[in-house]
Chain A
Amino acid sequence: MSTIQESERTAIQEELVRFLRAEAGEDTLRSGMQSDLGYDHAVWQKMAEMGLFGIDISEDFGGIGGSAVDTAMVAEGLGRSLLPVPFIETCVIAPALLEASDMTDESRKILTRIAQGTATIAIGGNADIVPFRDPDCRLAVKADGTMSGEVSLVMHGGSADFLLLAFYSGNQTRCLLVSSDHDYTIENQTANDPALRPAKISLADVPFIELTGWSNDNFEQAGWQGIVALSAQQTGAARAIFEITVDYLQTRYQFGRPIGSFQALKHIAADLFLEVESATSASQAAARALASKAPQTAQSVALAGFLCNDAFREVSAQAIQLHGGIAYTQEHVAHLYWRRARATLSMFGDSDLHREAYLSAWEAAA
Chain B
Amino acid sequence: MKSREQEYREIFLAEALEAYDAMSQHISVLEKKPDDEAALHELFRLMHNLKANARAMGFAEVGELAHRMETIFGLIRSKERAFSGSLVPVMFDGVDTMGSMIRAVNENQPFPDVSTLLENLDRLVSGEELQVETAVVVPSDEDANRKLELSDLVYIQIKKLDHLLNLVGELIIDRDRVLTLSQEIGDPALANVAAHLSRLADDLQYSVMDARLVGVGTLFNKFPRVVRDVATAEQKEVELSISGQDIQIDRNILQIITDALLHLVRNAIGHGMETPAERRKAGKTPEGHLSLSAQTERDDVLIRISDDGRGIDVEAVRRKAVQRGQVSAEVASRLSEGEVYALLFEAGFSTADQVTEISGRGVGLDVVKLAIDSLGGQVRVESRLGEGTTFTLVLPTSIAVKGALLFELEEHSYALPLMHTDSVVSLWPEHLNIVGGMLLAEIQGENVPVVSLRELLSDTDDTLVPASKDTLVGRQDIIITNYNSRKLGLIVDRFLRQQDIVIKPVSQPLDMIDLFGGVTLLGSGQVCLVLDVPALTRLFLARRP
A joins B in a complex: no
Which residues of B does A touch, CB under 8 Å?
none
